């Protein structure tokens, strides 16, 4: 199978569905602000996972495309609001929504996307029995609730000095992994997967999501601005307690700690100090973080291997996505 | 029937349902911020309308209480975010959520409430057929979408000098009336009301909501801070294009216009100037606005009178709520 074509077909259909739901004659500024981040590209990782999962069980493509559009729209709503909360001014190489339209409009655009996501999901469920309807909705709702809790933990961590690796794992499970688990899980549910199959798809997404976030934290320190689409070292400047930072704080010498503590969360740090801090972090944590990401990817694939699939190509697509998730750091 | 008892029973049950869904062991700050506005009281107008509408058709109370909790939670989410957008620091006599916990936590608390509202609604629909499930969800989702558009119009009006009365009516229909229409409409749908009955309940709520908002605008100018729970004349200070202001701008003398234009939207206006502006507004618009509110209330009741009810007491409760909505300005 031509994987590139397989993925680009899904992405096109998902983009078209989203565009259709975000068309509007009245209040044009609100809708323009809501469409902004979609036009900046993005990997569409969550819909790719949802649709491939559905395909692997022989699910209806029309349904999975709409559910995929819902999950991408939900994800985008969280990005718009996270950028306000984190005071980030660049995303995917574009000014963030609140920078372009002001905070009130950005809050409102996020709220609209949140509701639009539910609208798309509701429409994707036409004709289903009550039990599937209720369970898909519940999984989707829980992903927003869990994500909000994860974001609250992330914000709280910035003011704490005693964040442990277990705290971090709990936080990224909530903030990132749960929505990816929800993508593969819903893909299974809307394609006739039973409870056991749902569990396996859900765990596949959960472990893949953890792996994905760890790699994202690594990329946040190794890549330059054009690759990142946002300023380099912003995680360090904001004092984010990533796995890398926690591991480093646990292991660094007292001399290294002195520098780290003066740089982490200090928005006035010089580029030179940020670079020094990044070097210290690399030395202590990269090998460890990469191995952990690899371990979770293997756990994800192990769940996938137990699935009684109908379409091998779609499973291959999910394996490709999993490998890419970890490899992209290089 | 003892109406006071009837209402307080509903309010207690709705409050208990909300409290149960907003309990949480982890991320306590997020949940505390989310519960804040509920603890400050409020009329619970929307759940009262939803549950009374359901009762009037002999609907299941357990279901309507949970749907009522959902609609109140949705309403509260919009208040939390509106207060950030409008820079309001007082609500129901308490500091607003963003004043107490900061903007990032207030954005997040609103998002959590938004998702929790969907969770409650989803749980209230257990066991229903797909078509009712889909239609209730759709009505609920549309209320958020419509509300966001109404808020966008309201914000845009502050920078415009040519807002007509029709524009205002369209805006309050979206920003306020639609959610009240959704309350009576969903009450009907979850109690076996057919499409015609739904239409009548929906229109009852829509017209009542318009009446309610016009009276709210009147109260915003006539009441003192302890009645309002927020600073007096804040609508004038923020330059809100209420029905009263639009009507006055259409009719005022050139001398009056001079004062009005220097005060409306001027956050540094003196209390004396605000009071003068309020007097001018009263003279030109109160009679007109009050008559219009009364007219919409009559249209609301006319829809209600056509309903083939099973429970007369619940209809009486809805009539009482309608009368109270307009009379409370006195």
Model confidence pLDDT, tens digit, residues A245-259: 999 999 999 999 999
Q: Are B24 and A150 in contact (CB under 8 A)?
A: no
Could you tell me how far CA A215 lies from the centroid of its own chain? 12
Mean pLDDT over each residue of chain A, to the nearest integer: 93
pLDDT at position A281, please?
94
Any CB–CB contact under 8 A between B115 and chain A? yes
Pick from A190-194, A284-288, B129-133: least confident: B129-133
How much is the average pLDDT of A255-283?
Answer: 91
What's the DSSP call for residue B25? S
Cα→Cα distances A143→A15, A140, A297, Å: 22, 5, 21
Task: Give the pLDDT of residue B226.
Answer: 67
Nearest CA-CA distance, residue B198 and chain A, Å? 20
Q: Which residue among A30, A114, A149 places its CB closest to the CB of B30?
A: A149
Chain A residues within 8 A of B114 when measuring between CB atoms: 111, 114-115, 144
Residue B79 Cα, gap to closest chain A Cα (Å): 12
**What's the confidence (pLDDT) of residue A252?**
93
B250-256, long-range: CB < 8 A, 24+ apart: B250/B165, B251/B284, B251/B285, B252/B280, B252/B284, B256/B280
pLDDT band of residue A96 (cuts 50, 70, 90) is: very high
Take residue A300 and report the two structure tokens written for it: 């994800």
pLDDT < 70 stretches in chain B: 25, 224-231, 329-330
Fold of the domain built from segment(s) A3-327: Farnesyl Diphosphate Synthase (1.10.600)
Q: Is the pLDDT of residue A193 over 60?
A: yes
Residue-by-residue DSSP string for B33-100: HHHHHHHT----HHHHHHHHHHHHTT--HHHHHHHHHHHHHHHHHHHHHHHHHTT--EETTEE-HHHH
All residues at 6 or more sequence positions from A62 whose CB lies less than 8 Å from its CB, including other chains: none
Cβ atoms B255, B276 nearer than 8 A: no
Question: What pLDDT digit, counting tens, does each position of A118-148 carry?
Answer: 999 999 999 898 899 999 999 999 999 999 9
Asked whether the predicted pLDDT for residue A235 surpasses 90, the reply is no
CB atoms within 10 A of CB A151: 26
Give A196's contacts (C-beta < 8 A, 6+ positions apart).
none
Checking if the pLDDT of A230 tops 80, the result is: no
At A325, the pLDDT band (50, 70, 90 cuts) reads confident
| Interface contact flag, B144 A104, Cβ < 8 Å | no
Helix (H) or strand (E) holding A94: strand A94-95
What pLDDT was estimated at residue A228? 63
Residues in chain A: 330
Whole-number pLDDT of residue A233: 81
Evaluate if residue A56 carries a pLDDT over 80: yes
Q: What is the pLDDT of residue B83?
A: 94
Query: So what's the pLDDT on residue B330?
Result: 42
Taking residue A286's Cβ as centre, other Cβ atoms within 10 Å add up to 17
Q: Phi/psi of residue B26, each to 5°?
A: -90, 170
| pLDDT in the model for residue A226 | 66
Q: What ipTM describes this predicted complex?
A: 0.94
Q: Would you say B3 and B317 are in contact if contact means Cβ atoms under 8 Å apart?
A: yes
Q: Which of residues 12-31 of B touch A (CB under 8 A)?
A: 24, 26-27, 29-30
| A107 lies within 8 A of chain B by CB | yes
Residue among B84, B115, B149 whose CB faces A145 most closely: B115
B27: chain A residues, CB-CB within 8 Å = 149, 152-153, 156
- Alpha-helix runs per DSSP H in chain B: 3-21, 28-39, 45-56, 61-85, 97-101, 103-124, 130-157, 165-172, 178-189, 195-222, 225-228, 234-237, 243-251, 254-263, 271-305, 312-327
Instruction: Please give the pLDDT value at position B230.
Output: 64
Mean pLDDT of A137-165: 92
């Amino acid at each position: 199978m031509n994987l590139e074509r397989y993925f680009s077909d899904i992405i096109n259909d998902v983009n078209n569905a989203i565009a259709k739901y975000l068309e509007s004659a009245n209040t044009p500024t609100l809708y323009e602000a809501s469409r902004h981040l979609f036009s900046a590209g993005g990997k569409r990782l969550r819909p790719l996972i949802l649709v491939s999962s559905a395909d692997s069980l022989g699910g209806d493509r029309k349904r999975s495309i709409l559910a995929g559009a819902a999950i991408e729209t939900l994800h985008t709503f969280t990005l718009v609001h996270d950028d306000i909360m984190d005071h980030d001014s660049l995303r995917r190489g574009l000014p963030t929504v609140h920078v372009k339209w002001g905070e009130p409009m950005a809050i409102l655009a996020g709220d609209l996307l949140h509701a639009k996501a539910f609208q798309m999901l509701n429409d994707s469920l036409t004709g289903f029995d009550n039990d599937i309807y209720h369970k898909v909705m519940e999984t989707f709702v829980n992903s927003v609730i869990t994500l909000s809790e994860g974001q609250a933990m992330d914000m709280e961590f910035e003011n704490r000095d005693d964040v442990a690796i277990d705290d971090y794992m709990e936080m990224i499970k909530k903030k990132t992994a749960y929505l990816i688990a929800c993508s593969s899980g819903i893909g299974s549910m809307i394609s006739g997967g039973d409870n056991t199959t749902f569990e396996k798809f859900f765990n596949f997404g959960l472990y893949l999501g953890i792996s994905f976030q760890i790699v994202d934290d690594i990329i946040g320190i190794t890549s330059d601005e054009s690759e990142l689409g946002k300023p380099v070292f912003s995680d360090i400047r904001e004092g984010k307690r990533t796995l890398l930072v926690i591991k480093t704080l646990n292991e660094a010498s007292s001399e290294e700690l002195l520098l780290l503590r003066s740089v982490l969360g200090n928005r006035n740090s010089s580029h030179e100090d940020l670079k020094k801090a990044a070097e210290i972090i690399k030395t202590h944590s990269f090998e460890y973080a990469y191995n952990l990401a690899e371990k979770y990817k293997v756990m994800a694939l192990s769940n996938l291997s137990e699935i009684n699939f109908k379409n091998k190509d779609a499973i291959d697509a999910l394996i490709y996505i999993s490998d890419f998730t970890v490899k992209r750091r290089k």
